[in-house]
Amino acid sequence: SCAICLLAIPFPEHGTRHPCCMKAVCHGCSLAAHKRGLRRTCPFCRSPPPQNDDEFLVMIQKRVAARDPEAICQLGDEYFNGFSGLEKDLHRAHELWSEAAELGSTTALYKVGMEYCIGSYYGSNDKAKGIHCFESAAIQGDVRCRHCLGGVELEKGNYDRAVRHFLISAKMGLERSLDAIKDLLFMGFATKAQYAEALSGCQDAVEEMKSPDRDEAFAAFGAELDALNDFT
Check residue 48 and report its DSSP letter.
P
Handedness of CA 180, 183, 189, 193 (dihedral sign): positive
pTM score of the predicted model = 0.87
Handedness of CA 155, 161, 209, 74 (dihedral sign): negative
Predicted confidence (pLDDT) per residue in 25-53, tens digit: 999 999 899 888 887 899 999 999 999 99
The pLDDT value given to residue 39: 79
The pLDDT value given to residue 25: 94
Longest CA–CA separation in the chain, Å: 55
Q: Which residues of the chain have pLDDT under 70?
A: 120-124, 221-232
The pLDDT value given to residue 191: 97
Predicted confidence (pLDDT) per residue in 134-166, tens digit: 999 999 999 999 999 999 999 999 999 999 999
CA 213 to chain CA centroid, nearest Å:
20
Alpha carbon separation from 9 to 36, 120, 144, 226, 231 (Å, rounded): 22, 28, 13, 14, 19
The pLDDT value given to residue 120: 59
Burial (0-12, 13-18, 19+ Cβ within 10 Å), 217: buried
Determine the Cα–Cα distance for residues 141 and 216; give it in Å rounded to an integer: 27
